[in-house]
Structure 1
Amino acid sequence: MVCKDNQPFTIVENEGFRNFLKAIEPRYKLPNKTTLTRWVDDKYAALSGIIREKLSGIENLTLTTDMWSESMSMRSFLGVTAHFGVGSELFSITLGVSQSNERHTSQHIAEMLLNTCDEWSIDKDQISAVVTDNAPNMVKAVELAFGKKHIPCFAHILNLVAQNSIEQCKPLRELISKVKDVVTWFKQSNIASNELRKSTSDETKLIQQVPTRWNSTYYMIERFIELREIVNNIIIRHKNAPAMLHASELAHLSSVLQVLRPIEAATKEVSGDKYCTSSKVIPLIHCLVLKIKPLSFDDSIAKELQSLVLKEIQKRMGVIENVTPLAIATVLDPRFKKMHFTDPLACSAAVGKIKDLMKAAAHNTTKDSESSELSDKNEDNYSLWEDHHKLVHKSWKLSKADDTISDELAIYLRCPPTL
């Protein structure tokens, strides 16, 4: 209960909690704060040992890391989460949240990342990629700690694309501010909230904007337009209510939603934690542009927003095809392959890297096979099929030649993508 509900250890000293337990089970002896702390530490030690053993058997791990500051306490923290697959299942484990008492330099962040890995006995070679918010100090920290294994967080980039586009469009900002005033008034006025609740059969409520999540703005506008008639009928009955938006302003917002809808859909698509999303990044960017670019509007605000969104996408995601792990993941996903690449050089580089990985894997497999053959030869004194086994092994090695690997990859790429 303490861990799941984020309760302080001193809860066992609270009079109300003690009376509650006494009423439920008078015979139970409540532990003191020191005992409770020891129990949690013992539990952590036992569970961390299991997780450490599990991580030791994982060949490839991906880390996600972020740094934030608490405005009230003026403290900074670095969170690190490990992601890995076992069979067809994906797992995520929070390795730690460490407090930082120094400036957020790349060197300091790199040391914190390495300390977290050391604490969990994770070797640097196990780390295949590290995902961050793409801040310069975070990118440099990953490079210092693990080499060139950085991947920008696509969801964070999408958030910036939408937020910056809306922020730069002054007429849209003013419209959103008006909507926000109305929504806030409804939230603060119990009478208006009750009237809204009675007027909607399915308990539909207005949605408030959250500054850190751009799609909350999208949902706020969408719900406001959906309930505009009911909201208007309630507002006109209250003289202290904020001004309702005009028909032309509502039309502007409806057009704006058409520009933002593809970004909202992409945000949902990459927010999954039970399926791989890295192979979807390049196709999603391509599909975003294909959806937004052809849109035609008479509305000046929607036109301006459309232009700003396309510029932000190009600015922040124009070179995303050169991020090697994302490019390889896309090519190796049978749904996409090379279909969504717009840069032929980036696509060619990804295919070349895949060939290198295949050669390295084939070379390692050949070495393992030779070692196994040698051990078998030592054990068998005589075998009539010995020469046959040698011919089979030689044929197998020849099949792993560079030309065969290229042909194998070419056959895969020539096959049509799956749906």
Structure 2
Amino acid sequence: MITLHLRHFSIVEDRGFRLLIDKLEPHYDIPHRTSFSASIIPDLFAKQQTRVKQTIHNDSHPALGMASDIWSSRANDSFISLTVHYLTEDFKMKRYLLDTPYFPEAHTVENILTKWDEVMEMFDVDGSKIKLFSVNDNARNIQAALKRIQNIVPAIPCFGHTLQLGINDAVKNVPGLSNNLQIE
């Protein structure tokens, strides 16, 4: 529940939650929130990471599609995400968010490549042995980083992101356009 619905660990200390669990199973001793943050959630992550690693390596696929983005939280903390996508031999789409690590460093090409390498290594994906495709936003630092990856097909800009940039430019530069559009 905590990971599925992105709830705070402290939910296990809420009176209502405790009453609910007591009704369901009066003899169950709810672990302390630090147990969730220190061992239960990290153990779940490790099991899921192992499962994803095995799936990626056991599935037969000639290439991986990559997507990455750098974004900031409401608290202005910076993160970088990396996902992989591929089709299996029987044309089933598989996609996995590999990681979204904290990224307080400057968003330089070198730092982006370092983070990507760390994530790819964590999942035993060797970019020199498999063809890589990439769809990303139009950020120069991401595009420059992609040009340095050896076995990658030229990056494809994200259509949705490109369209949004065009719409924003049109609204900003065409007088009265925003009056005719429903923009929130």
Counterpart CA distance in 2 for 1:168 and 1:84 is 39
Counterpart amino acid of residue 160 in structure 2: A
The aligned residue for residue 28 of structure 1 is 28
The aligned residue for residue 77 of structure 2 is 75
Given the alignment of the two structures, is residue 10 of structure 1 paired with residue 10 of structure 2, yes or no?
yes
Structure 1 or 2: larger strand share?
A: 2
SS of equivalent to 2:176: helix
Cα deviation code 1:127-161 (max 9, x no counterpart): 42111101111100111234563211112112222
The structural deviation recorded for 1:109 is 0.9
Are residues 127 and 69 of structure 1, via their aligned partners in 2, closer, same or farther at CA, if it must alter by over 3 Å?
A: farther
The aligned residue for residue 175 of structure 2 is 170
SS of equivalent to 2:70: strand
Counterpart amino acid of residue 82 in structure 1: V
- Unmatched runs of 5 consecutive residues or more in structure 1: 181-208, 211-419
Q: How does 1:348-367 map to 2 (within 5 A)?
A: none
The aligned residue for residue 164 of structure 2 is 159
Counterpart CA distance in 1 for 2:147 and 2:114 is 12
Counterpart CA distance in 2 for 1:127 and 1:114 is 15
Cα deviation code 1:142-190 (max 9, x no counterpart): 11234563211112112222221222111223x25xx87xxxxxxxxxx
The structural deviation recorded for 1:40 is 2.3
Q: How does 1:284-323 map to 2 (within 5 A)?
A: none
TM-score normalised by L of structure 1: 0.40
Counterpart CA distance in 2 for 1:164 and 1:150 is 23
The structural deviation recorded for 1:117 is 0.6
The aligned residue for residue 134 of structure 2 is 130
Does the 8 A contact of 1:142 with 1:148 survive in 2? no
Identity of aligned pairs, percent? Answer: 24
Does the 8 A contact of 2:113 with 2:145 survive in 1? yes
Cα deviation code 1:313-339 (max 9, x no counterpart): xxxxxxxxxxxxxxxxxxxxxxxxxxx
Deviates more, 1:88-97 or 1:152-161: 152-161
The aligned residue for residue 53 of structure 2 is 52
- Unmatched runs of 5 consecutive residues or more in structure 2: none
Are residues 140 and 148 of structure 1, via their aligned partners in 2, closer, same or farther at CA, if it must alter by over 3 Å?
A: farther
SS of equivalent to 1:122: coil
Given the alignment of the two structures, is residue 150 of structure 1 paired with residue 152 of structure 2, yes or no?
no
Runs of 4+ residues deviating >4 angstroms: none
Does the 8 A contact of 2:132 with 2:153 survive in 1? no
Counterpart amino acid of residue 168 in structure 1: N
SS of equivalent to 1:99: coil
The aligned residue for residue 102 of structure 1 is 105
For this pair of structures, how many residues does the alignment match? 178
TM-score normalised by L of structure 2: 0.86
SS of equivalent to 1:45: helix
Counterpart CA distance in 2 for 1:25 and 1:131 is 48
The structural deviation recorded for 1:39 is 2.4
Of 38, 63, 68, the match for 2:66: 63
The structural deviation recorded for 1:56 is 2.2
SS of equivalent to 1:34: helix
The structural deviation recorded for 1:47 is 2.1
SS of equivalent to 2:29: coil
Cα deviation code 1:254-308 (max 9, x no counterpart): xxxxxxxxxxxxxxxxxxxxxxxxxxxxxxxxxxxxxxxxxxxxxxxxxxxxxxx
Does the 8 A contact of 1:113 with 1:145 survive in 2? no
Counterpart CA distance in 2 for 1:65 and 1:26 is 45
Counterpart amino acid of residue 52 in structure 1: K
Are residues 100 and 36 of structure 1, via their aligned partners in 2, closer, same or farther at CA, if it must alter by over 3 Å?
A: closer
Counterpart CA distance in 1 for 2:50 and 2:173 is 50
Cα deviation code 1:336-381 (max 9, x no counterpart): xxxxxxxxxxxxxxxxxxxxxxxxxxxxxxxxxxxxxxxxxxxxxx
Structure 1 or 2: larger helix share?
A: 1
The structural deviation recorded for 1:27 is 2.3
Does the 8 A contact of 1:107 with 1:141 survive in 2? yes
Of 136, 140, 145, the match for 1:141: 145
Does the 8 A contact of 1:128 with 1:149 survive in 2? no
